[in-house]
Amino acid sequence: MPAVITTHGGPTPEHDGKITFYVILCVIISAFGGLLFGYDIGISGGVTSMDDFLIKFFPAVYQKKKHAHEDNYCKYDNEYLQLFTSSLYIAALVASFAASKVCSKLGRRTTLQIGSFFFVAGVVLQAGGVNLAMVVLGRIILGCGVGFGNQAVPLFLSELAPAKIRGALNICFQLFITIGILIAGIINYFTSNIHPHGWRISLGLAGVPAVILLVGSFAICETPTSLIERNQVDQGKATLRRIRGIDNITAEFDSIVAASEAAKRVKNPFHELMRPSSRPPLVIAIVLQVFQQFTGINAIMFYAPVLFQTVGFGNNAALLSTVITGLVNVFSTLVSIYTVDKAGRRVLLLEACVQMFITQTVIGVLLLLHLKPAGSLSSTEAIVVVVLVCVYVMGFAWSWGPLGWLIPSETFPLETRTAGFACAVSSNMLCTFIIAQAFLSMMCHMKAGIFFFFAAWILVMGLFTLFLLPETKGVPVDSMVERVWKQHWFWKRYMIDDDENDNDKVIKG
Ligand code: BGC
């Protein structure tokens, strides 16, 4: 059980230390894990809308797409096409449980190395794919890379970062995800005109960051926390001195040792998670990830080119619009880095709910009125849809995107922090899988109604945030129980003392 994950979210005990070049190097290398995750998210939509790819692997979809009077909303509805996109996430879901064990038994660095091996192998299989089985297998192996990477990178970043920049560094993981999505959009834009192997280039170029991550993962250090926890205390101390760039690291070293001792006393963190007092952060962590996905963001991220073609853009214009939404995604994430510790989590989440609810509803109304199964939107209407999608992505990128990862990592007490975070990661993967697998069929059956479906979820999550999500801004991580959960009108009923906990009793009110 890893001892320390993140302690951002408020004042943390200050420890001395510089932001050393070595830390920056390690952060950049490990963040390539986020970039690969983003690249995989962004690349599949473009690839699955390329004719060469469809002709080779999905001839039936290609025929449907080419036929003059095809149904706008249904032309990409093919469960195998969705399987291509979604197989990665189901693999990542399963892999993340294995990764959490490896992470605590063998360390973050080893987990990242295993992840990058998966990434390289998956890229080779995909780019060299000669049949559907081979490309889907490649995607499953990439999914294992994502499972290992997403478990290790946030932990690695948080444990390596000096406390004072820990929050900003955590959101850097999300920033790299968005950069990966953007790069994928740009690459698809160019490769879609390279026939017949443009799609191979798109899938194969993931090899560049994958090799950088693989080679780089041998250059980075293990985190002091992981070393100390695995009884390599002297090495942990030496590493801490190296990454902080100062000699006197006693205070931080002592606090890691204490945290690791406390965590070691908990024999089964998953069992600990079942206690009533673990319920509030566990529910929040899982629900936030479910909500993050049911904003509908990945309907846009995976299928933006498909969606833009649906409303009437040509292939190139659709891919270009995807690049534009990708840029909006990256720059809006920066807004979150600046505001999250000032405005607070709730303000960002609630504001974004209003913004996303309005945009999804307006898109739904527009398509309902103007996009019939045959025909397309006028160019002005199509541009309005792109603008609305951008405003929607903007809202997501400064709220539910980064905070879906940040809040679960700061609300668990130490002894359940990594087990709880693993539950958050796997919930995310499960819901990402569901959206990836179901979106195109849902669009075919629900037509414009799909946008009202997501708008309804956004309303629910807004209400949940309003009534049930406590503000965690400025609260030291290790004071969450006292200052957040025990004070909250609803969640305080689960906060009972340890001896009562043992009897598994729940105090009402
Ligand atoms: C989500 C991804 C999403 C991305 C978009 C991440 O926080 O977990 O599913 O595609 O944000 O930027």
Q: Is residue 41 within 6 Å of ligand 1 at its C-beta? A: yes
Encode the chain (509 residues) as per-residue pLDDT tens digits.
444 444 434 444 556 677 888 888 888 888 899 999 999 988 988 898 889 999 999 998 888 777 745 677 787 777 778 888 889 999 999 998 888 888 888 998 999 999 999 999 999 999 999 999 999 999 999 999 999 998 888 878 878 877 667 767 778 889 999 999 999 999 998 999 999 999 999 999 999 999 999 999 999 999 998 899 889 999 999 999 999 898 888 988 988 888 788 778 887 888 888 989 899 999 999 999 999 999 999 888 877 877 787 777 887 888 888 889 999 999 999 999 888 888 989 999 999 999 999 999 999 999 889 887 777 778 888 889 889 999 999 999 999 999 998 888 788 876 787 788 889 889 999 999 888 888 888 888 898 899 999 999 999 999 999 999 999 887 776 677 888 999 999 999 998 755 444 444 333 33
- The ligand 1 atom at the shortest distance from the C-alpha of residue 302 is 10
C-alpha closest to that of 2 among 109, 115, 143: 109
Inter-helix orientation angle 21-47/132-160, to 10° = 150
* C-alpha radius of gyration, the chain, whole number: 23
> What tokens were used for 376?
């397309």
Q: Whose CA is nearest to atom 6 of ligand 1?
A: 401
Q: Is 16 exposed, middle or buried (0-12, 13-18, 19+ CB in 10 A)?
A: middle
Sequence-separated (6 or more) residues with CB below 8 Å from residue 258: none
| 326 Cα–ligand 1 center, Å | 11
Q: Is 332 in the pocket of ligand 1 (CB under 6 A)?
A: no
Distance 89 CA to ligand 1 centre (A): 12
Which residue carries 């969450």 as its tokens?
480
CA of 495 to the centre of ligand 1 (A): 32
CA distance 34 to 100: 17
431 lines ligand 1 (CB under 6 A): no
What is the rounded CA–CA span in Å between residue 362 and residue 239? 54
Is residue 123 within 8 Å of 138, Cβ to Cβ? yes
Count CB neighbours of 464 within 10 A.
Answer: 16
428 pocket-lining for ligand 1 (C-beta < 6 Å): yes
Q: 7 to each of 15, 144, 272, 410, 486, how far by Cα in Å?
A: 12, 27, 20, 6, 19
Which residue has tokens 């998966």?
118
Cβ 113 under 6 angstroms from ligand 1: no
Amino acid at 205: L
For ligand 1, say whether the CB of 177 is within 6 Å of any of its atoms.
yes
174 lines ligand 1 (CB under 6 A): yes
With b for 16 or more beta-carbon neighbours within 10 A and e for fewer, the 2-13 pattern comes to bbbbbbbbbebe
Whole-model pTM: value is 0.87
Is 297 a pocket residue for ligand 1 (Cβ < 6 Å)?
yes
Report how far residue 450's alpha carbon sits from residue 461's, in angstroms, rounded to the nearest whole number.
17
- Closest Cα to atom 10, ligand 1: which residue? 298
